[in-house]
């Protein structure tokens, strides 16, 4: 995204406002279908304001490790309790069973092997979300595994993204390198 100001807000009017006023939009806690609808609204609002289309980026969260599902639920629970986010999640069809946080965690915090996560992330890309942030979540102990998983997903989606020529392995970059581990 070029230098400018992007709008990110869990409200219905965000997309139309962004299309009219902002240099971009960052979608947060959204399904691929909802992302596609947002992109259409942003484009229409930009056209109505005689502006060029603005980029629509977004976040896709991932969790890793043996307790990835619990990490996903814990991360999602906070947002599902905030009224604006809860309304947004329910509008996307999450929470029909009365368990908004559980359904949102299952649909919006991706878990599993890198290949299956990459297939799911591709759904957001296919909807037009660009740039797309692969966002590792979890407690401090699970973050290094989630970051490694995010790197694997990025490598699958972007084969040109390699660490060739890097002096340090990716694991050193993720965990702060040998000098940081030596101090802990």
Q: Which residue has the higher pLDDT, 31 or 97?
A: 31
Contact 121, 108 (CB under 8 A): no
Whole-structure pTM value: 0.80
Q: Which CATH architecture has domain 6-158?
A: Alpha-Beta Barrel (3.20)
Over residues 5-11, mean pLDDT? 69
User: Token digits for 175?
Assistant: 């965990």
Domain ranges of the chain: 6-158
pLDDT at residue 158 in the model: 87
What confidence tens digit (pLDDT) does each residue in 126-147 have? 999 999 999 999 888 889 999 9
Which DSSP string do the residues of 57-68 spell out, in sequence order? Answer: EEEEEE--STTH
Helix (H, G, I), strand (E, B) or coil at 53: coil
The CB density around residue 23, as the number of other CB atoms within 10 Å, is 15
- Give the CA diameter of the chain: 57
In which band, very low, low, confident or very high, does the pLDDT at 19 lie, cut at 50, 70 and 90? confident
The closest alpha carbon to 59, from 18, 24, 31, belongs to: 31
Mean pLDDT, residues 62-91 taken together? 90
């Amino acid at each position: 995204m070029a230098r400018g100001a992007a709008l990110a807000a869990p409200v219905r009017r965000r997309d139309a406002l962004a299309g009219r006023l902002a240099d971009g939009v960052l979608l947060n806690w959204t399904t691929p279908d909802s992302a596609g609808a947002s992109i259409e609204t942003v484009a229409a609002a930009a056209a109505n304001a005689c502006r060029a289309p603005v980029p629509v980026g977004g976040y896709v969260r991932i969790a890793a490790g043996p307790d990835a599902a619990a990490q996903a639920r814990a991360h999602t629970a906070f947002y599902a309790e905030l009224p604006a986010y809860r309304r947004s999640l329910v509008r996307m069809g999450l929470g029909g069973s009365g368990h908004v946080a559980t359904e949102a965690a299952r649909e919006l915090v991706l878990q599993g092997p890198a290949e299956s996560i990459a297939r799911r992330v591709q759904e957001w890309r296919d909807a037009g979300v660009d740039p797309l942030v692969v966002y590792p979540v979890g407690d401090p102990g699970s973050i290094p595994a989630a970051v490694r998983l995010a790197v694997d997903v990025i490598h699958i989606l972007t084969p040109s993204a390699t660490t060739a020529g890097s002096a340090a392995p990716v694991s050193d970059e993720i965990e702060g390198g040998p000098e940081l581990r030596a101090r802990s």
